[in-house]
Structure 1
């Protein structure tokens, strides 16, 4: 299970995270929401050290990093090995085929046998209905297809948690629906996920837990049922300003 305690981060004089503590349950989907500029993405990126917090503690099973103390690259890599990030833009390697994009990390980082890595990649592509594009290049696919491939790439390294930073924000509504349906299936299958999104319908459909961040603080931390029925004036105001359709 992934836990954080009193995570703080500043960029220059701007304090972006002001001491956030929470637990991200295993085999559950946690959705992080809040207004733009609230610190959501900084928090998400802190979980695999794309952003290094200034203060606080991350615990992941028997692994513990205290940002007030020195820690080794080995410890940092051990944390990163447990997660896989999916970004707003899919960031596929344009010079590699879809199959190569998915197998690159398993083969060259995790030292998985090429035959095994290819087999696993085809299984992932079949699951999302894109195996016919295994030998195609990213430029030959739509944005929605490329984002589904990027999720397959994240799954290929068998992470304990997938971290998703607004993965549908660059997509049109039809493509967004395709990606969200894939993520809902992963949620139903018990894949541990932490996702930053503005899509409240996805939160209603797939979230087990919701973390509402504003001004660098966690103003709500609970189940989705509690979130959507909360008496908090601020959460009500936030939901009122976002379409649930």
Structure 2
């Protein structure tokens, strides 16, 4: 299981994370919510060291990181071999084909045989209905198609946890729904997802656990039923300010 203890992070004079402690159960979907600027993305990116916390600890199975001490490249790589990130704007390599985008990390980082990596990539593309685009380049696909490819790329390395940073925020409503249905299927299949989102309906439908952040502090850590029925003024105010379709 992935867990963090007393994580802090400061950018300049701004304290972005203020002693965050949480557990992220395996084979469950944890959704991180909160107002803009609350520290959600910083927290998510701390989980695979895209952001390096200033202090606190991260424990993942037999790996334990103390952020008050230097982190070796071996420790960093061991953590990143267990996780895979999906970004807001898909971040595909424009000079590589769709197939190459998906197989690059398995082949070059995880040392998977080329034919095995390509077989797995085609299988993933078939699952999302995009195998016909295997030899195409990212610019030839729509935003929704590119985001589906970025999720395939994340799945190709068979991570223990998939980290998703508002993966639908750059999409129109129709394409957003396509991606959310895909994520709901992954969640129902027992994948371990940690997702930052503003889509409260997705959180209500899919989350096993919700973390609510505000001003760098963890204000709620519990199951979705408790969150959506919470009587605290701040959570009710937050929920009234977002749309639940």
- TM-score of the superposed pair, with normalisation by structure 2: 0.99
Q: Deviations over 1:63-83 (max 9, x none)?
A: 000111223110111111110
Map 1:108-127 → 2, pairs under 5 A: 108-127=108-127
Q: Which runs of 5+ in 1 are unaligned?
A: none
Structure 2: gaps spanning 5 or more residues: none
- Residue aligned with 1:239, SS: helix
Displacement of 1:232 in angstroms is 1.1
Q: Where does residue 241 of structure 1 map in the other structure?
A: 241
Distance 2:136 2:108 in 1: 21
1:205-224 to structure 2, matched below 5 A, reads: 205-224=205-224
| Matching residue of 2:197 | 197
Offset, 1:129: 1.1
The number of aligned residues is 245
- Secondary structure of the structure 1 residue equivalent to 2:116: helix
For 1:67, the equivalent position in structure 2 comes to 67
Instruction: Give 2:169's aligned residue.
Output: 169
In 2, Cα distance between the equivalents of 1:75 and 1:118?
28
1:7 aligns with 2:41: no
2:226 partner SS: helix
- Report the secondary structure of 2:175's partner residue: helix
1:16-165 → structure 2 map (5 Å cutoff): 16-165=16-165
Aligned partners of 1:138 and 1:167: how far apart in 2? 17
Q: Distance in 2 between matches of 1:4 and 1:47?
A: 8
- Cα displacement (A) at 1:98: 0.7
Return the offset for 1:12.
Answer: 1.0
Please state whether the residue corresponding to 2:201 is helix, strand or coil.
helix
Query: Shift of the alpha carbon at 1:140?
Result: 1.2
Alpha-carbon distance in 1 for matches of 2:71, 2:203: 35
CA distance in 1, matches of 2:70, 2:152: 34
Q: Distance in 2 between matches of 1:29 and 1:134?
A: 29
Q: Give, in whole Å, the separation in 1 of the partners of 2:243 and 2:65.
A: 39
Encode CA deviations 1:130-180: one digit per residue, 9 max, x unaligned.
111111111111100100000000000111001000000000000000000
CA RMSD, aligned part only?
A: 0.6
Please identify runs of 4+ aligned residues in structure 1 that moved more than 6 A. none
